[in-house]
Structure 1
Amino acid sequence: MWSLLRVLVVLALAPSSFVVTARDNASTDAPALALPGDAFLRDLAGDSVPKFATRIPLAAASATTRRQLALFRTAALASASTKPVEFLDRSRQFSYPVFGRCSLGKDNNVLPFDVSTTLGPYFESIFRMIPAWTNGDISLSRFDLFHGHLFANAATKTAGVVFHSKEYPADNADTFPYNLGFCQLESNLPFVDKVMRKRNLVWTIDANQRTSFWWIDMAAKSGNGLVDEILGGAPFYTLYEGNLGHVVADFYYLKGLELGVSLY
């Protein structure tokens, strides 16, 4: 059987009708287990913008990237049984930076995307666009934005990435009296509640291969109890990737480094 990487190369040259087959292969006859985030993702995919989210415009991806994203979504949805390693280059594995006793990644070594794909540059561009789009409320740094979590939701046939910013605000007796461990040491990131509540961003690709990107306000109320169940959480305001789907991998990115992936 061809590996997904070989199929990906074929798809890069194939007509768009071939991509539909990849999309259909992501379906399953087994009923998907309900997750707290199912309603959240359905709201994002609806016709109107939900109260808890702001849509971030994405630049149009090339036809090649769209085909590769469709395959990547298929691999993510199948990841409960097969890890999407075909998209990654084990020969170029590298160590993610360590700062003293602080290790930002869950693994010492991470894998870059294979250079035959455009997926690495695509997701790097999303990391880089966030500071500009948020008017500086979020910055690329080891205390703020440096990672995201790839998830797959079988019920909605959606794959996505939750980007977490404001990861290590400075310990402050008055505003943020919380010890977050070694990675918080030397943090110069102030805690501001109105900024912290918008620390999560979500990128998705759905069953129709439509991509979207959202800035989430965790302090907002949607009026839907199922959605509001995963919002809130002051003062940390974390949107947990495990509530949205099966967690596939972590993405890590800092300026000057290639995007690295750590599989679960």
Structure 2
Amino acid sequence: MRNPQDIRDVLEAAAQGAKPVKFKEWGLCAVSPFWKDLPHCDIFSALTPDILHQLHKGVFKDHVVNWSTACVSGGEVEVDRRFRMMPRHASLRHFKKGISLVTQWTGTEFKNMEKVFLGALAGSAEKDVILAVRAVLDFIYYAHFEIHSDDSLDMLEASWRDFHHYKHVFVRLNIRSEFNIPKVHSMQHYMSSIRNLGAADGYSMEGPERLHINFAKVAYGFSNKRSTYIKQMAVWLERQEAAHHHDAYIFWTIQEACSPEDTSFNLDR
């Protein structure tokens, strides 16, 4: 975890015309941080993991899936064939066209692919590739726990270490030259974040992104879908909010008007 004072020192040196090595090494930008004058503020400890974008979409889909596919003889064609040949099961999604043609991925689809991805790779990639992928999947499943113990956190860290132990197979196969990837780096902070702030499942973006359906997709459906659709969506949302507040007020007045002893008015009727 970086030290806020170290960041301030490097930024101040850069602002005065110096060219500190850490400025480029840490990927800093020449802006004044909003948190520099906030007392007792450690901005880095306030950044929580995001399972959806860091693990499901980032580490797994954008990186591990691509690296693993490159390790398979036949590449995407073979991986798609293996997904199409997967036996059907009520609790599993069947990717009848494979995975390479899917353009709009959701959190649910990421999870469905993770359930069978290791089986799809079995027998088509080197053992170390399989072990690296398994370590990432283990890490994702442990990170999803709603309740943790010392044992579960130890297993989470063991999965992280296993991935770093086997990841060099991708370098040996000339698929990667290095692993300086922010989302891969973020994995090492999950253990400390969970100990300090609670289960990562509680601050994943999976929950808030569900609101896209109510506040974006549904609102867009009530617009004319032309150039002024954004303004129409805003008006629709304002009216929905006003109706909600009015409904809550009416419900409150009814409750106030009815005494606990008054049984003549039944809200459930």
Using structure 2 for the length normalisation, give the TM-score. 0.25
Task: Specify which structure has the bigger relative contact order, considering alpha-carbon pairs within 8 angstroms and separated by 6 or more residues.
Answer: 1
Structure having the higher Rg:
2
Greater strand fraction, Structure 1 or Structure 2: 1
Greater helix fraction, Structure 1 or Structure 2: 2
Using structure 1 for the length normalisation, give the TM-score. 0.25
